[in-house]
Structures are given as C-alpha cells and as structure tokens.
Amino acid sequence: MKAADAILETAIYCDDLEAAERFYTDVFGLEVVRKLEGKFVFFRCGAQMLLVFDPVQSARPDSDNPIPRHGATGAGHICFDADTPETVEQWRNRFEAHGIEIEADHIWDGTGVRSIYIRDPGGNSIEVADRKLWGFA
C-alpha cells in the first residue's frame, strides 16, 4: 500500500459559526458546501475541505450520529498555500483591505520564504505561506 499523499479535510473550531462563514467566504473566497446552524459549516478549498465546527456541539454525544465525537479546545492552526511570493503579498493586501490585523509577517531563516499570520473569528492562527516553505515548487 502506498503512503497517504493528500489531506482530504481539515477541521478547526469556532463558537461563532456565522462569523466564521463570513470570514472564510468574504476573505478567502471559499464556497460553502454544507452547513447545519449551530453545529458546523463546511467549505471547499481546491481539492480539500475545511470543516469548521462549534466546539461544544461537536463534543456532545449524539446517539443518532454514528460519527465518533471529536473536538478541540483552544486555537488551532491552518496554513493556506500561496503559489508565489507575489501571491503572499496579494494576500497581505487583501487582509489589510478587510481591516484584518496582521499578527506576523515572517521570513524564514535561510530560505527567504515568507509567511503571513492572522486570526480568524474563532481565534485560530491562520497562515498564508509561499509553498516553497515545505519544498513544494
């Protein structure tokens, strides 16, 4: 069997799903694929899915749902792929245009690769980085 070669979905948690929906659609342009008020909102991001759950609801036992309960407490982290250094700068400009505070604008030692960090409405650390950060061309 071959090694896993992609992540299909990533889950983060936010107690204000309406704010999360606005943030990920307005700022990142993601498409809402499915949502259940007060429980979750799911977005398509290229060939992957970003799942945003209410942390309290996702941890509650539910006898009608066969999916194992999951959840996390505290802020999570995701990183969006920027295909060029110019794209990273475009994202910075977009965040500023939306009035989003840039938490860090970091150049990684020895690589010249740049990452920009912001926070989403749930307090999650959101990074946009040049894909060369991990050696992808």
Query: pLDDT at position 105, please?
Result: 97
Q: Are residues 79 and 132 in the same domain?
A: yes
Domain residues for the domain of 35 are: 9-60
> What's the CATH code of the domain at 132?
3.10.180.10
pTM for the predicted model, two decimal places: 0.92
Q: Are residues 53 and 82 in the same domain?
A: no
Residue 66: inside a domain, yes or no? Answer: no
Q: How many domains does the chain have?
A: 2
Query: Taking Cα atoms as reference points, which of 39, 16, 21, 40 lies closest to residue 31?
Result: 21
Residue 20: inside a domain, yes or no? Answer: yes
Residue 69: inside a domain, yes or no? Answer: no
Q: Using one digit for the tens of pLDDT, what is the confidence trace for 19-44?
A: 999 999 999 999 999 999 999 999 99
